[in-house]
Amino acid sequence: MRLTELAEQLKCEWEGDGNLDLIRVAPLESAAAGELTFAEGPKAFAAAAATQACVIAAPAYRRPEHQSVLRAAEPRLAAARAIALLHPRERAAPGVHPTAILSPDSEIDPTAAIGPYCIVGAGSRIGARTEVRARSIIGDNVQLGQDCLLHAGVTIHDDVSIGDRAILHSGVVIGADGFGFVFHQGRFEKFPQIGRVDIGHDVEVGANATIDRAALGVTRIGDGVKLDNMVHVGHNVRIGNHVVVAAQTGISGGAVIEDYVIIGGQVGIADKVRIEKQAVIGAKSGIPSSKIIRAGTTVWGLPARPIKDYLEELATLGKLTARRKELDALLNASRRPTESPAPPDAA
């Protein structure tokens, strides 16, 4: 794609050789002539100036004479959009693979693609241009929107609704039973999980992540939510719009996470927790049952508390360690045997 064409699609100003043919996007440290890269901030400007590649950079970047540049206020965002244009996803041809098994009353849009050994259950509907790759299983009464991509080996249980443009990576399981049991007379008896899962538009779910169906009612995931690999969402959880959850986080049943929350990796969220809008939860934090994290706050630690308190505690612990070492040195000095005075010389 020529530089001028790319600039027009990205709505960026360009400088240099407008006829430059760009073939791929590459990392700044290895980008070569004919490739596109980006410099996100002033720290990257020196490396950007030394490359022969075309660079996406902020207006503050000073372009060397030999170089072509795309000007963008947000270089990383422009680079992401450039990648989508220069490296488009290869789409499978519409149609159903001969090895796929479809229920007679399922509805598959003619523009959808169903791959080898897939199963689609009774009453399920697959939207336009959606691609379901090999060995994925879709249960009964599943609604799958337009332009979705299910990578190989995805499992969607019965009574799940997923909006448009969802991306589900391999190993994702949606709609399995929640972890619900009643203790009676010395044993655990299963609480039947008869609810459903509703997922909005533009949701991406990472590899081996799981979203459980509600015990009663709905487990709900809002628009634009991004769940990383190995995230677990328990039954009856409600996640708002444009929430980001990093890998290995577990969200227990009944928790509510409001819009634009950011959750770090390996966070544990207990049942009935409420996290209000635009809160940030630091990695490896733990949030006890029924706790409320207020809107816009940043918390960290186990148990999670405001980051200012957490950092003050860390500083205090550091001081205590230093004081302990000083005390140990004093105690060791006090335990040393006192040297006896030398005997007087013999007369």
Record the tokens describing residue 114, joined without a space. Answer: 């169903």
The span from the CA of 257 to the CA of 126, in Å, is: 29
- Give 195-240 pLDDT, tens digit per residue: 999 999 999 999 999 999 999 999 999 999 999 999 999 999 999 9
pLDDT at 347 exceeding the cut of 70: no
Residue 201 designated active-site: no
Cis check: omega of the bond before 303, within 30 degrees of 0:
yes
pLDDT at 315 over 60: yes
pLDDT of residue 26 exceeding 60, the answer is yes
> Where are the domains positioned within the chain?
3-86, 157-305
**pLDDT of res. 331:** 83
Q: Helix, strand or coil for residue 105? A: coil
Closest CA to 299 of 282, 287, 312: 282
Other C-beta atoms lying within 10 Å of the C-beta of residue 218: 17
Written as one letter, the residue type at 179 is: F
Question: 157-305 falls under which CATH superfamily?
Answer: Hexapeptide repeat proteins (2.160.10.10)
pLDDT digits (tens, 9 = 90+) for 9-25: 999 999 999 999 999 99
Give the pLDDT band (50/70/90) at residue 308: confident
| Tokens coding 17 | 């050789």
Per CATH, the homologous superfamily of domain 3-86 is: MurE/MurF, N-terminal domain (3.40.1390.10)
- Between 23-32, 275-284, 311-320, the lowest mean confidence (pLDDT) is in 311-320
Average pLDDT over the chain reads 94
On whether the CB atoms of residues 13 and 27 are closer than 8 A, the answer is no
C-alpha of 301 from chain center: 20
Q: In this structure, what DSSP letter does residue 55 have?
A: E
Q: Give the C-alpha separation, 125 to 212, whole Å.
A: 21
Confidence check: pLDDT of 344 > 80: no
Asked if the model's pLDDT at residue 52 lies above 70, the reply is yes
Amino acid (1-letter code) at residue 144 = L
pLDDT of residue 312: 85
Given the residues 157, 169, 232, 235, the one annotated as active site: 235
Task: For residue 24, give the 3-state DSSP assignment.
Answer: strand
Q: What is the pLDDT of residue 322?
A: 78
For the segment 288-313, the average pLDDT, to the nearest whole number, is 92
Query: In which band, very low, low, confident or very high, does the pLDDT at 341 lie, cut at 50, 70 and 90?
Result: low
Backbone angles phi, psi at 109, to 5 degrees: -60, 140
d(CA 280, CA 260): 9
Distance CA 170, CA 167 (A): 10
